[in-house]
Amino acid sequence: MPRLSLTTVPGYFKQDDPSTDPKTFDYARENFGIIDRQYSEDQLMSSEDGVWQRFQTHVDHLNSTDGARFKVLFLGRHGEGVHNVAEARYGTKLWDEYWSLQDGDSHGQWVDARLTQKGIGQARVAHNAWKDQLQTGIPPPQSFYVSPLNRCLETAHVTFNGLPIPKTTPFRPVIKELLRETMGEHTCDRRSSATDIAAEYPHYQFEAGFEEDDLLWDPKIRESDDHRNKRLRNLLEDIFSTDESTYLSMTAHSGAITSILEVLGHRKFALATGAVIPVLVRAEKIDDAENSTANGQ
């Protein structure tokens, strides 16, 4: 049963606005989408304070006066992977029905798919976007989470390693099993062993209880959207219940981010490979009586 009410708070980022077209929106050129708006706390600010400083002051005020807990999630999709190229090569129908079930083709393998050179370049765009926004005062992530799939592990490393942010030199994100892509059937979504991940990313931290082998991927059953939504909600409840940070980064997948946005009540906003979307989230504990009523008890 849900222990927290988790809802997106619109009106702070352009991605919240129905008039913003996900197909043409460029997060890197649009300052991650932050809206230059007025806040009640502006009267306490210096005229030299920029849009991000004013936003941070506003979030601090919400956390000190509202009674709920507010967090800002920076959701980043991995850069282009070899599986994305393969799907484009064969078309979605043939990919879903046949090629996604194979380990690869004559061009190479896509089990636990890796980034292409283009994908690495997209992660570098994200790195430079963060570097630019840090210079304008964006509140940096205080916690970093990443999917256990290789394309996300590498995207996160290229994006954040070496930035002037704590925990990024070296970069030490927490690997979360439930932050992965839609599970089952597609071999690109089967993760590597913990031993192999640790060998390639020795500074990364595994969450408690992370299994050596991938016990969630099933070669015969593809996870439903409803199950994926429940999985990502469980992940959010876990993080919101245990992490006191206000600003969090999550490097994940299109399916995982789609589910996160849906369970938060955010409008649909499909991210291009390598793109980032920030979301302001309000979290409030649900008491036992309210929880029982919500579940028909």
Q: How far is CA 32 from CA 53, 184, 273, in A?
A: 14, 32, 15
Q: Give me the amino acid identity at 80.
A: E
What are the φ and ψ backbone dihedral angles of 132, each rounded to 5 degrees?
A: -65, -45
Counting Cβ atoms within 10 Å, is residue 183 exposed (0-12), middle (13-18) or buried (19+)?
Answer: buried
Alpha helix segments (H runs only) across the chain? 51-65, 82-90, 92-97, 117-135, 150-160, 194-200, 225-242, 254-264, 288-294
Question: Could you write out the DSSP letters of every residue in 123-168?
Answer: HHHHHHHHHHHHHTTPPPPSEEEE-SSHHHHHHHHHHHTTSSSTTB
Separation between Cα atoms, residue 109 and residue 62, nearest integer Å:
48
* Helix-helix angle 150-160:117-135, to 10 degrees: 40
CA dihedral 38, 42, 45, 46 (to 10 degrees): 60
Beta carbons within 10 angstroms of residue 179's beta carbon: 26
DSSP letter assigned to residue 113: P
Active site residue ranges: 78, 181
Structure tokens at 170: 């070296």
